[in-house]
Amino acid sequence: MAFEVYRPRSTSENIVAITKHHIRLGTKIAGLLKGDQVEIAYDKETNKLRIRSVDEAGMKVTKNKIGAKGVLNYFDLNVAKGNYAAEFNPEEIAVYVDLNTRK
């Protein structure tokens, strides 16, 4: 028999996962955002989401998850579920998710 060993994905990767109902932040990225409320914006030209920390009136982040169904419907995004490349901007305290780059 040939056993293959399961190795969990490293939390050092900058990944954001999108599912039908949630945007799930990787542990490293979620730790860089301050607080538990965010605003989400979309740039049509670059096809990127911006997830930025806000002090109040934002969407709640619970267990590194953000409800995505309303966001995807609002921006009329037909995004395939999966993992996407993300990068953190420390000046803006924001995560930019490239919806063109699946990992």
Percent of the chain with pLDDT over 70: 93
pTM of this structure: 0.84
- Mean pLDDT score of the chain, rounded to an integer? 89
pLDDT digits (tens, 9 = 90+) for 1-42: 788 877 665 555 688 999 989 999 988 888 899 889 999 999
Q: Where are the domains of the chain?
A: 15-102
Provide mean pLDDT across the span 59-87. 92
In the chain, what are the helix, strand and coil shares in percent, each to the nearest 5? 10, 45, 45
What is the predicted pLDDT for the residue at 94? Answer: 95
User: Exposure of 37 by Cβ count < 10 A (0-12 exposed, 13-18 middle, 19+ buried)?
Assistant: middle
